[in-house]
Structures are given as structure tokens and as C-alpha cells.
Amino acid sequence: MKELQTVKPFINGTFIDSKTDKYNDQYNPSTGEIISRIPQCTKEEIEMAISAAHAAYKGWSATPVLKRTQILYKLRDLIIQNMEELTHLVALENGKNWFEAEGDVLKAKEGTEQAIAAPSLMMGESLMDTSSGFDTVSYRQPLGVFAGISPFNFPSMIPMGWMTPICIACGNTIVIKASSTTPLSALRFAELYKEAGLPDGVLNIVTCSRTEAEILLTDARIKGISFVGTTDVGKHVYSVAAQAGKRVQVQGEAKNHALIMDDVPVKRTAAAIINAAYGCAGERCMALPVIVVHNAVADALVSELVELAKNLKIGPGYDKSTDMGPVISAKHRQSIIDWINKGIQEGAKLVLDGRECYPKGFENGFYLGPTILDYVSSEMTVGQSEIFGPVLCIKRVNSFEEGLQVMNGNRFANGSAIFTQSGYYAREFARHTDGGMVGVNVAIPVPVGMFPFSGHKDSFIGDLHCLGKDGYKFFTETKTVTSRWFDDIERKVTKVSTWDGTI
């Protein structure tokens, strides 16, 4: 039997052997086989990573921003050169189909490219003669060490596109707690960063349990936390870290809805819904798990959705002919099945059942087929809570106003969409939806990296979102300098107003 790989944390520029006696098994979701052992790093190892980042901060923050971004230019080239390997790694450890896995890596590249803009986006502001003879300049400066707590579902994009690039481009250092389910991609990126010339200690990657991760929330050397995960855990992270005086951004759960009006082209709309509902096996916070459909087109749309979903090819992520790969684990698979059963118990109509899905040759993988629950009401928990799997819920309404009310009744508001040919309804929707990222005939309205990932309500906790200008504000603080120089007359002044220079 092939010996299992034992994963090593990356601390101070080196992969170290953890001294822990606690390991998690990492599975290949496509086959159900164990592929590696993931250490639960010790308290001392987490503190070692923080110490390395803290020690590296002084030299890295003093490195001119143009030199910092030169390293990111090199990293971008290395991502492109290693695209095939990085894509396969995501598909292997997460189960995404090949093109979804490639997109995950491309989003890490996009975040890196956004960070390369740091010399412009870090610039402050200035004004001469703010008061007579007084000039004021504001600078954006790094804060110190940040921590990133990353989920399993985007092992490249989130830790290496959302968290690391802008953070270090601004002059900070970072400790990433990678998901213990999918850490291999982030650790491979650490090798590429080192190859690109990143100084030791600027980027550190650990895997650990929640107990050890608590250190990241309370250690005084860490100035901020970027978190992506469940809302309940995010609220805990925010509460503890904010009380410890840190700035925090929490990207939480979602239950995105799309409103389908009666004037849509049914086939084209159905194609968009299928992609949004079942892409990444539904394991993304910008998935489309609920559509709110005008009754006039509901039957035709549901019929089209069922036919399209039935034709999706289910199989291993790294097979380029696969349309939809497995979910992340056997435990999560069972959780999704429990949600489907609950939906049926609550009165939803099961029009497509994906519970018994066993692709030939991969029967031990963690597969579910596309599932559709029709006639879901707002009172049903299956239509309100995040399932995080390939389950599409259909809510039927009679008007735009009713549909908007149904959508805004959800406690999550990451994204929302409307499908219509009416400019009036599109504008009204964009204005009044609670969703923070809005699509008009766009089922997954994730903006590109120069805009923030702007969830609302219980999908986000904090003041500044990740990416875009918000990202630069989150990873820097403003310092304002006011100065004046005395001329011959001013040198002789002996009495100064209490409000000198401020009025």
C-alpha cells in the first residue's frame, strides 16, 4: 500500500514537521480514498507562525511597495506556468470539475493582479493650505500581522486570491489557517511565493482545530482577521476578535434567490439557472439554490430545468468530461440528503431526486445528483437555510412585488438576481433587493476583483468587504500629517490660538 503523504505546515519560509499527535484524514471526494494526513498544529506551532510573521513585518513593511509588487508579478507568471498542476490539485482535493477548478486558480491569479495595483490604490490624499500656511497629507500604511481563516470550498481563490495578495502588497504579513479538508492548494502556492522571492515569514500557513485557531483571535500581535465560513462561527470570530481590538471581516452563509419574471426566454434562463445551481456541486456562497418563479412560466421552466439537470454528467472532478463532481465529504453528503428528506416532510414536491447517485467506477465517492424541490414556501426551512449542495428550491409567486417580498424575507443577502426583459422591473429590483451583489439576467453576480465582494445582512459582518478598494482599506490604516513652516513674521509670534491651524 502506498504510504500516505503527511502534510507539513509552512512557517517562516520552511515546511516543518509538526509535533502534534492529532491528524485528520484528507479524502479524495471523487473516489472516497484517503490521500493524506493533515496535522492539527500545536498551540506552540501556531504561536511560532505568528512570531515569524511578526518578526518579518518590520523589514517587509519598509520594503518599497514597487518592490513588493514585483514579487507579485513573478507570482502571477508562476501561476500561469503551473496552471495545469494547480487545477488538478483543486480538482483532486475539492472535487470540482476541471473547469471549475481552473476557475478557482484563475480567481487567485485575478486577486494577485488586483494586488499588483497597490502602488496606485494605496495612495493617500493631500491639500495645501488647509488653513493658512498649513498643509495636510494622508497616507495609507500597513498595520502588522493579519490572520486569514479559510474554508474548504475554494482552496485557491479564497486564501490566495482574497486574503493573501492585497494583505502583503500593502506591507502586512499574514498567517493563513487553511481548511484541514483542502490545504494542499494553499501550501503549493506557498512554494510558488517562495520561488517568486517572498521573504521568509511574510506568508505562513497552518492547519489546526478550532481550539488552536482561537489563538489567532486573541494574540495581541495580530491586528486583523479575514474569515470565510458559516455565519454562526463567523459571529464568534467577530465577537472574540473585535473584543480583542482587532479589525474583522466575516463572509458568512447565503441563500441566494433569483426572481424569474413572466417575460423571460425560458430555455436561456433555464440554462443559466442550471449552471448557477449545480456549478461546484452547489458548494459556493454565490450558488443559486432558490428561484422565485412567476406562475405564468413556472410549469414550463420547471420542465426545462428537469430535462437539463438530468443530462448533467456526474463524475470525478479531474475528468474533463464531468459536468458536476462530488461534494466534499461523506458527512456533508448525508447532511444534504437529510435536508432533501426534510424538504419532502415539510411539503415540498420532489421533481428530481439525486440522492441515489453512484457513477460507475466511482461508487465510493461522495456523489449526489441534481435535485429539484418544487412548491417550496417561505415557511419551509429547506427554502430558508443554507444547504450548500446541488439542491434547487422553487418558490412560485404571482407578481414582482410578491417575489421581491419573498426574497427579502430571507436573513441572508449575499447575492440576488432577476431575469426579465423589462428595464423598469430590473431597475426596481436593483434598487430594492436586499442582496449585496445583484444580477440582471446574470445568475451568479460575482463582481471581478476591482469591486468588493459585498454581501449584506447575515451574509457579512464587518465594515469593509474583501477585494476592491474595500480590501485596501481593510488592510491599511490612515495616517494624517499636518505641517507648516515658519516665515520671518511667524518666527516672532509669541501667542498661539487654541484652534491654531484647525479653523
Q: pLDDT band at 490, cuts 50/70/90?
A: confident
Residue 4 pLDDT: 84
pLDDT of residue 2: 61
Under DSSP, the state recorded for 230 is -
3-state secondary structure 446-488: CCCCCCCECCEECCEEECCCECHHHHHHHCCEEEEEEECCCCC
pTM, 2 dp: 0.96
Determine how many CB atoms are found less than 10 A away from the CB of residue 4: 13
Q: Work out the average pLDDT over 88-97.
A: 98
Residue 285 annotated among the catalytic residues of the structure: yes
Catalytic residue among 285, 357, 393, 466: 285
- The predicted model gives 207-212 an average pLDDT of 96
Q: Tell me what pLDDT residue 264 has.
A: 98
Give tens-digit pLDDT for 406-450: 999 999 999 999 999 999 999 999 999 999 999 999 999 999 999
| Grid cell locating 76 | 502571477
* Residues above pLDDT 70, as percent of the chain: 100
pLDDT digits (tens, 9 = 90+) for 7-33: 999 999 999 999 999 999 999 999 999
Average pLDDT of the residues of the chain: 97
138 conformational bin, left if phi > 0, alpha if psi -120 to 50, beta if neither: beta
Q: Helix 231-243 vs helix 210-218: angle between axes, to the nearest 10 degrees?
A: 40
* CA-based nearest residue to 56, from 171, 159, 214: 171
User: Starting at the edge strand that comes first in sequence, how are the strands of the sheet with 134-141 ordered?
Assistant: 125-131, 134-141, 477-483
pLDDT value at 92 more than 90? yes
What pLDDT is attached to residue 500?
Answer: 87
Q: How many C-beta neighbours within 10 Å does residue 37 have?
A: 14
Q: Which three cell numbers stand for residue 126?
A: 493631500
User: Would you place residue 144 in the very low, low, confident or very high pLDDT band (cuts 50, 70, 90)?
Assistant: very high
Minimal CA–CA distance to 78: which of 124, 112, 121? 112
Poorest-confidence range of 130-139, 172-181, 227-236? 130-139
- Radius of gyration of the CA atoms of the chain, in A: 25
8 Å CB contact between 18 and 206: no
